[in-house]
Structure 1
């Protein structure tokens, strides 16, 4: 049986659905989430605060007006439907408030702050989404460690295509045939070692995914117990880094998407420090330099990075694009 629910979210001000949810999409062919011309499709497994799976859900987000979004949900259980409808608000970034940053940028008044304020005025409807799905985000980000975007997208896409399940669907919420649910911990542990090789996932990364699967219950409990607030999210990042294979970058990238972490820059990113340095000063920098440049904007450092990404600035490129060797058939 499929359960269907609907709600309309009125933000009371301009809201940018593709600008908000676009950061959650892993490549143009992501099987779990895609933004399209009228809105977005998304599917999730829903867990309770103790880590028990309540079921799964498919979302259809549709922009009705400049400030309104319709949310349609199809779920395979009544508890999953109720939880999914409640989760729709943080997914859309309804709990993300940029007012403090906007006031700070106006108060600072320097060249960089003035430029960032102008970017915000051009894109006032962008918010930081919070999917609530920390375990799924950790798995996805782990697949992105120390590889190219193409490799990571291939691994995520084909992991779900080959081993994922179709999400709930109904006449009211007809989930597209390409949609696949993220794998449960049990499903991840059932993927054979040779299959990870075919998926272009290096052994250290597959081992980290399996460690996450072993600790899934604890991850779900910690995630549910942590509200979308800067201080507590930062504390959760510290606890996640105790898992072998999860470092600063992985914890930050996951929590930015699961908890809308507004002050957790992804230290250790291959390009980010260079990008922030060039965008703010015209010169590349390292992680320490990036953090120094962002310090005046605490506790909104990730919001500032998001604004830089929306500014249209493009970092200069040096040398040919990395083309890793493909060992999958060896």
Structure 2
């Protein structure tokens, strides 16, 4: 089908020294844009699990079902390639096509508004990533509940650096990269360390509850998106906002829309109808013509840069570490 990858035939691999595999070209004419495709996985400019190097390569450190691993993704002569190291190298290479959008079908998207059409034409290299890993998206999404992005990014950075482990690989692995902690470690973080990382008791308790059943939550990566979200929302503290933010990344879900967001309804309402007071219900009505592709439509609207003029000051960051 046009716009899809063909699963790769890996070349050499190793869980210790590293592996390398070419990811075949897309069938369509638009080249893959690594930044657009993998950008949602980056939690702030100093995310210790994500780096972009000057040559345009994207490095990710992940905790896979086989253990920690580091993967380097690049595009050479228009051809995406992946190289991985660590106990999770095989798993990362096997899942590299999905990570780069092999299971996404951008040809299914039909723009219905001029703004969306214009952005779609400018951003043809966008693919919806599928990581196949739930907890690595769920935990930072919980940290982002009810706080500013900068606050959440700092909390994620501090906790991963303190309780994670250095990313495996050669000397070329960018400095300061870490694999996030395993599930058991998340459950053992002392209350005062959550406090030092500016994470309140509600969010830390949610992460601990999720980590205790991490294996069951990871199964959601292989479910259809609505069922996957229901699985996550069985955990107290995980609601529609958090489940959508997680499943969009872990499952590559093109239709899962984030509701309950402070800004998204107003942005979409302003872009499509000139109404900055749009609520979740009205936002879903505006996105109804994109049924099956509503998440992609929302991504394109955000990428358009069309946002309502600011009327109020930014949300004031909190600091529970001062208490």
The TM-score with structure 2 as length reference comes to 0.90
Q: After superposition, give the CA deviation of every residue in 1:74-132 in whole Å (9 maximum; x if it has no partner).
A: 123xxx3221111111111121111111xx33xx5xxx2x3322211111111111111
**What residue is the counterpart of 2:264 in the other structure?**
272
Q: After superposition, give the CA deviation of every residue in 1:149-203 in whole Å (9 maximum; x if it has no partner).
A: 11101100111111110021125xx322210111111111121011000000010
The CA distance in 2 between the partners of 1:8 and 1:315, in whole Å, is: 42
Indicate which of 211, 236, 241 corresponds to 1:213: 211
Instruction: Give yes or no for contact 2:58–2:74 (8 Å, CA) kept in 1.
Output: yes
**What residue is the counterpart of 1:45 in the other structure?**
63
Instruction: Give yes or no for contact 2:255–2:293 (8 Å, CA) kept in 1.
Output: yes
Instruction: Give yes or no for contact 2:134–2:220 (8 Å, CA) kept in 1.
Output: no
**What residue is the counterpart of 1:87 in the other structure?**
95
**What residue is the counterpart of 2:43 in the other structure?**
26
**What residue is the counterpart of 1:4 in the other structure?**
18
The CA distance in 2 between the partners of 1:235 and 1:327, in whole Å, is: 35
The CA distance in 1 between the partners of 2:67 and 2:146, in whole Å, is: 33
**What residue is the counterpart of 2:82 in the other structure?**
71
Instruction: Give yes or no for contact 2:115–2:301 (8 Å, CA) kept in 1.
Output: no
Gap runs ≥5 in structure 1:
48-53, 227-231
The CA distance in 2 between the partners of 1:288 and 1:35, in whole Å, is: 37
Cα drift, residue 325 of structure 1: 3.6
Instruction: Give yes or no for contact 2:199–2:320 (8 Å, CA) kept in 1.
Output: no
The CA distance in 2 between the partners of 1:8 and 1:189, in whole Å, is: 38
**What residue is the counterpart of 1:50 in the other structure?**
none
**What residue is the counterpart of 1:261 in the other structure?**
253
The CA distance in 1 between the partners of 2:26 and 2:47, in whole Å, is: 27
Q: After superposition, give the CA deviation of every residue in 1:201-235 in whole Å (9 maximum; x if it has no partner).
A: 01000000000011111112332x32xxxxx1112
Gap runs ≥5 in structure 2:
1-14
The CA distance in 1 between the partners of 2:102 and 2:34, in whole Å, is: 11
Instruction: Give yes or no for contact 1:2–1:170 (8 Å, CA) kept in 2.
Output: no
Instruction: Give yes or no for contact 2:217–2:231 (8 Å, CA) kept in 1.
Output: no
- 1:142 and 2:142 correspond: yes
Q: RMSD over aligned Cα, in angstroms?
A: 1.5
Per the alignment, in what secondary structure is the counterpart of residue 34 of structure 1?
Answer: strand
- Between the two proteins, the alignment pairs up a number of residues equal to 304
